Amino acid sequence: MNDFTFASPTRFVFGRGVCDRAGAELAAAGHARALVVYGQGSVVRTGTLGRVLASLDAAGVAYDQFGGARPNPSVAHVREGVAAARACGADVILAVGGGSTIDTAKAISLGVPYEGDVWDLFSKKAAPVTEGKPAVASVLTIPAAGSEASDSCVISNDELCLKRGLSCEANRPELALMDPELTFTLPAYQTAAGVTDMCAHVMERYFSSVGPVSVTDNIACGLIRSLMEEAPRALADPEDYDARANIMWAGMLAHNGIAGVGRNVRPDARAGGWESHGLEHELSAHDARIAHGAGLAVIFPAWMRYVWREHPDRFLSFGRDVFGIEPVDAERDGVDVTAEEAVADAVAATIDELQAFFVSLGMPRTLGELGVTAEMIPALLETLEQNKGAEFGEFRRLTMDDARAIYESAL
């Protein structure tokens, strides 16, 4: 186990009806004025926003509303939010929604004390300023991104066709209100894309060049096994409270960092190279209609097939602990196969099982199903290199030629 630094300061309030406690929780934390950030209508239609605003009224917390957050949130909208937060003097940015809404709130919070353009923070031209930064709180309605407790925030710049993430401890929300009942109305596709994203958050950390880390690896594989068990239940019965609750909590654990402790190469670094996320971000940066989880359902297996020979033991342990897959033994099992072939077969079966699980949820198998064509790959590579450099990754360093081959294999 490598040295690491881990903190998870978010206060979690979990259970039925907890969104009605938003005002009381913020008031107890000393907040007087909130900018309430939400998306494009679902929280209005379901009544969730009304319940949250009523709780703020009851607790005497003043607020302004800022709607319109979209999937793959845009920096243009964040800029408007920064102006709104400054104008109303918000001391807390309260997100009511899923990861995109929470990331919008995080970016607004980072932008308030910064004198320049908030995009400077995401393009690494400037470091975040924490003095005078409003707190971030959330009422989670879409479990997927894990943004309710993570240190990360991802924003798109449509003008530049760039999607960039910023990870820093200042991004961790102060409060997360998590009510599984709010997820009963989620469309099946959104539920499936969310579960896929959670699995990817775990696997990005698991598939690092660091060797076995027993406790962390068991947490990681246990989370994926739980998601594989609970997701079909939630899709079969959208109002299965226990299934929804387990998925919601797993989504937080998948991305708050605990599934990677000791697997990081530096004490202050996130575990893993996040290669699949980097490859997928280009898809949804060029076409904001592509759900992040859906893109990952295609990209992650394609990346795995391309790189597994770099550290096959990682794949063998994953196959064993998640799917119960072991390489055959020629002598024991009476088969004519070399040890190398046995390993390759076990790894192939592991990747096939993972992709079959994603597809069983309704996720795509190929990029073509997402509208991505071979003609689009050069543009994807151009912005990928701007974001990641000529080489990127940690499990195995990838060049742009490698990235092209992965994209092409996924068509």
What global pTM score does this model have? 0.94
The tokens describing 30, both together, are 């000393």
Q: Which CATH number is 24's domain given?
A: 3.40.50.1970
Q: Are 77 and 97 in contact (CB under 8 A)?
A: no
Q: How much is the pLDDT for 333?
A: 76
The answer to the question of residue 142 being in a domain is yes
Per DSSP, the three-state class of 216 is: helix
The answer to the question of residue 329 being in a domain is yes
In this structure, the answer to whether residues 47 and 152 fall within a common structural domain is yes
In this structure, the answer to whether residues 147 and 87 fall within a common structural domain is yes
Angle at 295 between CA 93 and CA 70, to 5 degrees: 30
The answer to the question of residue 352 being in a domain is yes
In this structure, the answer to whether residues 315 and 282 fall within a common structural domain is yes
In this structure, the answer to whether residues 121 and 249 fall within a common structural domain is no
Residues of the chain with pLDDT below 50 are none
The answer to the question of residue 382 being in a domain is yes
Residue type, 13: V
Please identify, among 145, 178, 211, the residue that sits at the C-terminal boundary of a domain: 178
The tokens describing 258, both together, are 């605990």
Q: Are β-strands 391-392 and 398-399 bridged in parallel, bridged antiparallel, or unpaired?
A: antiparallel
In this structure, the answer to whether residues 118 and 32 fall within a common structural domain is yes
Q: Are 137 and 173 in contact (CB under 8 A)?
A: yes
In this structure, the answer to whether residues 223 and 127 fall within a common structural domain is no
Q: How much is the pLDDT for 5?
A: 86
In this structure, the answer to whether residues 146 and 287 fall within a common structural domain is no
Strands (E), 16-102: 33-38, 62-66, 92-97
Please write the tens of the pLDDT for every residue from 103-154. 999 999 999 999 999 999 999 999 998 889 999 999 999 999 999 999 999 9
Q: Are 182 and 97 in contact (CB under 8 A)?
A: no
Q: How much is the pLDDT for 223?
A: 98
The answer to the question of residue 8 being in a domain is no
Please identify, among 153, 178, 203, the residue that sits at the C-terminal boundary of a domain: 178
In this structure, the answer to whether residues 137 and 236 fall within a common structural domain is no
Q: What distance in Å separates the CA atoms of residue 176 and residue 179, rounded to the nearest whole number?
A: 10
Q: What distance in Å separates the CA atoms of residue 249 and residue 236, rounded to the nearest whole number?
A: 19
In this structure, the answer to whether residues 111 and 208 fall within a common structural domain is no
Q: How much is the pLDDT for 170?
A: 93
Q: Supply the DSSP symbol for 74.
A: B
Q: How much is the pLDDT for 337?
A: 87
Strands (E), 158-271: 162-167, 175-178
The tokens 């092209």 sit on which residue? 404
Rounded to the nearest 5°, which phi and psi values hold at 52?
-65, -45
In this structure, the answer to whether residues 266 and 384 fall within a common structural domain is yes
The answer to the question of residue 229 being in a domain is yes
Domain housing 85 = 17-178
In this structure, the answer to whether residues 118 and 267 fall within a common structural domain is no
The answer to the question of residue 12 being in a domain is no
The answer to the question of residue 2 being in a domain is no
Q: Which CATH number is 230's domain given?
A: 1.20.1090.10
In this structure, the answer to whether residues 58 and 87 fall within a common structural domain is yes
The tokens 């607004």 sit on which residue? 108
Please identify, among 156, 178, 200, the residue that sits at the C-terminal boundary of a domain: 178
Q: How much is the pLDDT for 4?
A: 87
Query: What domain count does the chain have?
Result: 2
